Amino acid sequence: MGKSVVDKKIRVIGIFILLSILILLLAKPNLGYASSPQKEVLLLNLNNSFSILFLILIALVIILLININKRKKVEQRLLRQNEELTAIYEELTASEEELRQQFEEIVIHQEVIKQSKERYKLALEATKDTIWEWDLAQDQRSYSEKTLEMLGYKGEELLSYEDWRELVHPDDVEVVEENLRTHFEEKREIYVSEYRIRCHDGHYKWLSAKGKTLFDSSGKAYKMVGSHSDITELKEQQEKIKHLAYHDFLTGLPNRASFQEITEQEIQKAKMNETFFALLLIDVDNFKVVNDSLGHGIGDKLLVKISQSLASYEYADKLVAKLGGDEFVILLRNLKDKGTALRHAEKIMGLFHQPFILKTHNCYVSISTGIVFCPQDGENFEELLINADIAMYKAKELGKKRYVFFDRKMKDEFEEKERMQNSLCQAIARKEFILYYQPQVDLESGRIIGFEALIRWQNPDKGMIQPKSFISLAEESGLIVPLGDWVLKEACTFAKKLQDLGYPDKTIAVNISTVQLRQDDFVDKVSSILEETGLAPAKLELEITETVLIEFFDHHIHAKLNLLQAKGIGIVLDDFGRGYSSLNYIKQLSISTLKIDKSFIGDIDDQDDSANITGAIIILAHQLGLKVVAEGVEFPEQIEYLRNYHCDIIQGYIVSRPLPEEKILASLYLLLSEVVI
C-alpha cells in the first residue's frame, strides 16, 4: 500500500515536471517578439520569476488537488468499509437472533423429546410392552429389562435368534419361521407374529411380536427393532370364548356347531370311500317328566350324568356331542360294517340299564336312538341329521327305550306325516271333524248309562280317518288343544241334548290328551264349557290314558285333577293294563274310574292267567274305591266273566260300535230305554 502511494507521488511529481517544461516551452516564443535586449532580459527575468512562481503555485494546487482527491478516495473507501462493516454487523446481529431462536427451538424440542420419552416410557410400562432389537448381520439380540423380567431370563441367555427360537412352543415354531420368512421376502412394512414362549419357570406365555426391519441397498435385512406384548390373558379369553362357542355350557360336550364341523370333514372322507361312519341321535325318554316332577336343577344334573356316561363309552374313535335340550349325538368313526355299529348301539343302550344317582334320587332313564350311516343315508350333515331324527322318532313311536336304523321307507312315512300335519291344520279351520259315540252299559241293569265320544276326521280325499292316525300328530303340533276344546264342547252339547230329550242320567266320557291337561287354563276351560252347554259336572267324565298320565304326572297335574274331581267331574284312567299297570301308583292319583284296556278283555276267553289278572284288577280297583269299566267287549263269554267279577260297566262292539250322533238320536228310545245285554 505504502509503495503504491510513493509510486503515485513520483507519478504526480513527474507530471508536475512535465507540465513545468511544457509551460516553459510555451513561454519561449513570446521572448522572440521583444523589442529591446533590456526589455528582453527584464522580461526574461520577470517571465522566469513568474513562471517559477506560477509553476510552484500550480504544483501546490496540483498537490492540493491530489491530496483532496486522495482524501476523498480514502473517505469513500472508509465509507464503503464502514457500510460493509455495518452490513456485516447487521448480518451478524441477524444470525445471532436466528441462533438464539434456533437455540430456543432446540430447547423446546429437547423438552418435547424428554416429555415424549417419558410418555413413551409410561406408555410402555402401562401397556406392558417390551422392546427388542435384533442385529441380523451379527445375529445379536437384545431386550429391554422388562422382556427379561417378564420371561425370567438374563440377557446373556437369549443372545442369538437360535436361543430365542429354542423357547418358542414347538407347535408355534413353524408359524414364527413362516412369518419371518414372508416378512423378509416380501419386505413387509411391519412384522407381526403371535406365538407362545417358554418362561424360565417352564410356563408358556403368549407373545405378540411386532417389528420394523431395516434393509440394506441390496435388499438384505440387517436390523430389526420391535416390541413384545404379553397377550396370554387375551388368548385365554379368546380360548374361553371359542370354547363357549363350540361347547355345551351345561355338560362341556362339543355342541352342534363343533359337531357339524367335524362331521362335515368325516362326510368328505366317507365320500371318497375312505371311511364309513355311523351317527347315533339319542333323545332321553320323557325327560320333560323329570324336569317337571323333580325340578330343572335335578334335570340339569341328570343331563350332566348322561353326558359323562356317554363320553365314557369305550370306543376310541368316537365323538360325543350335545345338540341341545336332551338330545345327544355320537359319531362312531372307522367302523368295519353295520354289524359293528349294531353292537355299539346295544352297548350304548346298555349304559342306561343302571340308574343315575343324583344325591338322594335314583333316576332310571331310557333313551330312544336313531342311527344313520354315512355315506349311504345322507349326502350332507343336514340330511344325515334329519334322517337320524326320523329314525329316532320311529324309536319313540315304537314305544321308546330302543334304537332304530334309518331306512328310506321311514322317510316316506315321515313325509306323509308332515303332509298330514299340514292338512290337519286346515281340517280344523274347515270343520272336517265329527264325533262318534259309543254306548257304555251298566252290567247290573243291562242298560246304557252313557257314551264315550270318539273323534273321526272326514278327510275329503282319504275318507274317514281314525283317531290313531292323527291324535299323536295333533299332540306333537299342539293342534290337540283347539281340537280338544271343540271335542269337549261338542260332546257336552250332545249330552245336554240327551238330557233335554228326557234322559237326564246319561253320562258323556271325553278323551283328554295330557297336552290339554298341561295347559294352565284347562280347569277353567272345562268349567266354562260346562257352564256354556248347561251340562252338570257329574255327567262329564274325562278319560286320560294311563301311560301318558303316569309319564307326565306332576304336582300341577295332580292339583288339576283334584280340582276337577272336587267339581264333581269324573276322572277315568283309560287303557289300564297297556302301560305300567301299577295299582300302587293309582292310589296316588285322583281318579274315580279304572278302564281296563281291551287287550286284557280280549284274552278273557282263553281261560289262562291273564283272565285271572283281569278279575284280580277288578277286585283290587274296587278295594281302592274305583268304578271299573271294561272296554273292547266283543263276546258273551267276556260279559259273563266280567259279571262274575262284578265289573261295573262294559263298552264294546257287543253292544254297539261307535255311532254318529244322528244314528243315536234316530234309535234313541231303543238304545236308552231297553235292556241291551
Residues lying near ligand C2E in the complex (CB under 6 A) are found at 438, 454-455, 466-468, 471, 484, 487, 511-513, 543, 545, 574-575, 598, 631-634, 651-653, 658
Q: Which residues contact 163 (CB under 8 A, 6 or more apart)?
A: 141, 157
Least CB distance from residue 485 to ligand C2E, whole Å? 11
Cβ atoms of 19 and 58 closer than 8 Å:
yes
Considering beta carbons, is residue 383 or 432 the nearer one to ligand C2E? 432
Contact partner, 487, from Mg ion, ligand C2E, none, Cβ < 5-8 Å per class: ligand C2E
Considering beta carbons, is residue 369 or 511 the nearer one to Mg ion? 511
Considering beta carbons, is residue 385 or 455 the nearer one to ligand C2E? 455
Alpha-carbon distances of 552 from 288, 411, 598, rounded to whole Å: 8, 29, 23
Considering beta carbons, is residue 321 or 604 the nearer one to Mg ion? 604
CB atoms within 10 A of CB 162: 10
Least CB distance from residue 578 to ligand C2E, whole Å? 9
Considering beta carbons, is residue 152 or 602 the nearer one to ligand C2E? 602
Least CB distance from residue 347 to Mg ion, whole Å? 37
Angstrom distance (rounded) from CA 382 to CA 390: 12
Considering beta carbons, is residue 194 or 634 the nearer one to ligand C2E? 634
Provide the 3-class DSSP secondary structure of residue 155. helix
Least CB distance from residue 319 to Mg ion, whole Å? 44
Considering beta carbons, is residue 103 or 653 the nearer one to ligand C2E? 653
Considering beta carbons, is residue 511 or 614 the nearer one to Mg ion? 511
Considering beta carbons, is residue 224 or 487 the nearer one to ligand C2E? 487
Contact partner, 652, from ligand C2E, Mg ion, none, Cβ < 5-8 Å per class: ligand C2E
Angstrom distance (rounded) from CA 617 to CA 576: 10
Least CB distance from residue 326 to ligand C2E, whole Å? 25
Angstrom distance (rounded) from CA 508 to CA 655: 16
* 181, three cell numbers: 420368512
Contact partner, 466, from ligand C2E, Mg ion, none, Cβ < 5-8 Å per class: ligand C2E
Least CB distance from residue 509 to Mg ion, whole Å? 7
Angstrom distance (rounded) from CA 547 to CA 574: 9
Query: Which region holds residue 129: left if phi is over 0, alpha if psi is between -120 and 50, else beta?
Result: beta
Least CB distance from residue 446 to ligand C2E, whole Å? 17
Considering beta carbons, is residue 469 or 562 the nearer one to ligand C2E? 469
Angstrom distance (rounded) from CA 236 to CA 244: 12
Least CB distance from residue 598 to ligand C2E, whole Å? 6
Least CB distance from residue 629 to ligand C2E, whole Å? 10
**Residues at the contact surface with Mg ion, assessed by CB under 5 A:** 511, 543, 574-575
- The residues with which 357 forms a beta bridge, in sequence order, are 362
Vertex 205, ends 202 and 207: CA angle to 5°? 140
Contact partner, 533, from Mg ion, ligand C2E, none, Cβ < 5-8 Å per class: none
Provide the 3-class DSSP secondary structure of residue 534. coil
Angstrom distance (rounded) from CA 561 to CA 522: 10
Q: Angle between the 609-623 and 636-644 helix axes, to the nearest 10 degrees?
A: 40
Provide the 3-class DSSP secondary structure of residue 402. coil
Contact partner, 632, from Mg ion, ligand C2E, none, Cβ < 5-8 Å per class: ligand C2E
Contact partner, 468, from ligand C2E, Mg ion, none, Cβ < 5-8 Å per class: ligand C2E
Angstrom distance (rounded) from CA 334 to CA 623: 59
Contact partner, 455, from ligand C2E, Mg ion, none, Cβ < 5-8 Å per class: ligand C2E
Contact partner, 454, from ligand C2E, Mg ion, none, Cβ < 5-8 Å per class: ligand C2E
Cβ atoms of 331 and 279 closer than 8 Å:
yes
* 484, three cell numbers: 280338544
Contact partner, 634, from Mg ion, ligand C2E, none, Cβ < 5-8 Å per class: ligand C2E
Least CB distance from residue 466 to ligand C2E, whole Å? 5
Angstrom distance (rounded) from CA 316 to CA 118: 59
Angstrom distance (rounded) from CA 299 to CA 285: 12
Contact partner, 310, from Mg ion, ligand C2E, none, Cβ < 5-8 Å per class: none
Cβ atoms of 255 and 246 closer than 8 Å:
yes
